[in-house]
Amino acid sequence: MQFSLLPWYWRWGAMLTLATSLYALGRLHGQQAEHAQDNDAARAALVRVIRIQRKQAAISQIVAEQHETGRTRDGVVYRTIEKEVIRYVASPDHAVCHLDREWLRLHDAAALSVLPQPTGSADAAASDSTSDDALQTITDNYQACQDNARQLADLQAWVHQQLHH
């Protein structure tokens, strides 16, 4: 009853102050709860990122090991082929032929995946390139091609494993 002894404007002021205080406390509590939820969500996202990075590292390690194993095997194959090429070239029964410029021009265009340019008068002269040179170059090119194919296949395996694990 002592509250009724106060003038009306003090009563309204006290009620307004009480309401404002309750509103401010509620808002502060809500912001703290929202902040805690944001922290929990960020923590959960970080845990997911760490799991994904660990999984990717494991997959990358497996693919890298498979890649190196394949490259080692390919190296052995191509060293064997090179020995056979050398033995073939060194054979006394082997006949060497000189390649004309047109053969070289078309081969180079095919290797570079470009349209062949028309031959000029300078291209008509005999070439110093032999079938032995061509055999060695083609063997080296096939080895580089196989290495590129292995890299692409391993990249595809890595991507496939990333998407399906």
Q: Label residue 142 by pLDDT band (50, 70, 90).
A: confident
Per-residue pLDDT of 30-78, as tens digits, reads 999 999 999 999 999 999 999 999 999 999 999 999 999 999 998 899 8
Between CA 84 and CA 116, with CA 100 as vertex, the angle to 5 degrees is: 100
Q: What is the pLDDT of residue 110?
A: 83
Task: Look at residue 121 and tell me whether its pLDDT is greater than 80.
Answer: no
For the chain, how many residues are written? 165
CA 51 vs CA 37, 63, 90, 159: distances in Å: 21, 18, 58, 17
Query: Is the pTM value of this prediction over 0.85?
Result: no
Ranking 35-44, 49-58, 122-131, 145-154 by mean pLDDT, the lowest is 122-131
Burial class (CB in 10 A: 0-12, 13-18, 19+), 110: exposed
